[in-house]
Amino acid sequence: MISIKDVKKRYKTGSKSFYALDGVSLDIKKGEFVAITGKSGSGKSTLLNMIGTLDTVTSGKIFVDGKDLSEFSGKQIAAYRNKTVGFVFQSFYLEPSYTVFDNVELPLVLAGKTGKQNRQPVEEALELVKLSKKIKEKAMSLSGGEQQRVAIARAIVNNPSYILADEPCGNLDTANSENIMRILAGLHAQGKTIIMVTHDPEDAQKADRIVTMSDGKIVSDETVHNAHKTRLRAAL
Ligand SMILES: Nc1ncnc2c1ncn2[C@@H]1O[C@H](COP(=O)(O)OP(=O)(O)OP(=O)(O)O)[C@@H](O)[C@H]1O
Ligand SMILES: [Mg+2]
């Protein structure tokens, strides 16, 4: 469970300062699939980055599984990013000269695991995104859609409870986007909690819930109607 309590984030540029997040409160239950939408600059990425500890709040609190993120030590933050949350970004952020295996293995290596024990979790993660055949290829030789699937495999290899995805389909064509959405829906069906920032209304409809932001505030929080979702899933 993620509990966000009156979070504000103030940025200063020169002598001016403004609130990128201006009093956001939100509870996300375990197993939910939440889409965050809103205009460019509304604070979506800022919010996701706070949940992921990539940035810190100016005021307010974020609790994940009952723990106050602001009280984490450096070591706890590293462990949290490595094991509790899995990140997927619009621009993939793979190591281009590494193989697919090495990219997906990275979170395990960062967690201090090396050698043969890593083979199975990496293979399982790649199987889930249907990229087992490319395990030895260099990341830079893959298509955009394939690279994003590797990024998802990397995000799930340590079996995190939460997947934080910031416009995961933003750089992909329709066919590849559908593929990524199908993978995210599959992870959701397996019990993962998914928080996905998206500009695409159709992708947002695939979530359980759509949270809309404007000027650093949540302006609507709607449950997605199940019948509509079933139709969309059937169409996929
Ligand atoms: N490090 C920073 N320093 C100063 N301002 C920032 C910083 N990061 C974000 N901002 C500003 O905060 C506001 C919210 O940014 P954010 O990236 O969260 O928007 P977004 O909703 O994700 O937009 P987009 O849809 O374009 O990705 C924007 O006005 C942005 O310019
Ligand atoms: Mg953004």
For 45-55, write each residue's pLDDT tens digit: 999 999 999 99
Q: How confident is the model at residue 226 (pLDDT cuts 50, 70, 90)?
A: confident
Rounded Cα gap, residues 54 and 35, in angstroms: 19
Ligand 1 test: best mutation among 9, 11, 15, 40, most atoms within 8 Å of CB?
A: 11
Q: How confident is the model at residue 229 (pLDDT cuts 50, 70, 90)?
A: low
The residue whose C-alpha atom lies closest to atom 8 belonging to ligand 1 is: 46
Contact 195, 64 (CB under 8 A): no
227 pLDDT higher than 70: no
Residues 6+ apart with CB under 8 A from 211: 26, 34, 35, 36, 37, 218, 220, 221
Identify which ligand lies nearest to the alpha carbon of 166.
2
**For the sheet containing 67-68, what is the strand order?**
16-28, 2-13, 59-64, 67-68
107 pLDDT higher than 80: yes
What is the model's pLDDT at position 225?
82
Instruction: Give me the domain span that covers residue 128.
Output: 2-235
Identify which ligand lies nearest to the alpha carbon of 24.
1
Supply 13's token pair: 């540029």
Please state which of the ranges 12-16, 87-91, 226-230 shows the lowest mean pLDDT.
226-230
Q: Are strands 162-166 and 16-28 parallel, antiparallel or unpaired?
A: unpaired
Number of folded domains that form the chain: 1
Which residues, listed in sequence order, are joined to residue 88 by a DSSP beta bridge? 165
Supply 84's token pair: 């509790």
The predicted model gives 19-33 an average pLDDT of 97
Q: How confident is the model at residue 231 (pLDDT cuts 50, 70, 90)?
A: low
What is the model's pLDDT at position 233?
65
The predicted model gives 140-158 an average pLDDT of 95
Q: How confident is the model at residue 13 (pLDDT cuts 50, 70, 90)?
A: confident
What's the CATH code of the domain at 156? 3.40.50.300
Taking the centre of ligand 2 as the mean of its atom positions, its distance from the CA of residue 123, in whole angstroms, is 31
